[in-house]
Amino acid sequence: MNDRCFVEQIATNDILLHVTNVCSMCYAFLEEGANIYYDMHHYRYLCESCKEELASQMNEECEIESDDVGLFV
């Protein structure tokens, strides 16, 4: 897994109010105090399950290797 492509943070009220309150891949609500992950390559916050799935599809340069990745795939 390629964890250097993500920054792990605790979801604070400030982040959730000013940036996002949903995962940008699956639209699950992110709650205050939860672990959230900032995708350094795509500039978005993700929940843990989406981060794990995306990390498994990335190479060492944080680029997605598979062409079948997308919201509607």
Q: What is the pLDDT of residues 17-60, one digit of tens each?
A: 888 889 989 999 999 999 999 998 889 999 999 999 999 888 88
For residue 30, the number of C-alpha atoms closer than 13 Å in the C-beta half-sphere is 32
In a domain, 51, yes or no: yes
Task: Give the residues across from 51 on adjacent strands.
Answer: none
Residue 73's pLDDT is 47
Provide the residue range defining the domain that includes 8. 3-56
- CA pair distance 56, 46, nearest whole angstrom: 14
Residue 20's pLDDT is 83
In a domain, 43, yes or no: yes
With bands split at pLDDT 50, 70 and 90, how would you rate the model's confidence at 1? Answer: very low
In a domain, 13, yes or no: yes
- CA pair distance 12, 4, nearest whole angstrom: 22
- CA pair distance 63, 40, nearest whole angstrom: 11
Mean model confidence pLDDT for the chain: 86
- CA pair distance 40, 70, nearest whole angstrom: 18
How many domains would you assign to the chain?
1
In a domain, 20, yes or no: yes
Residue 34's pLDDT is 94
In a domain, 67, yes or no: no
In a domain, 73, yes or no: no
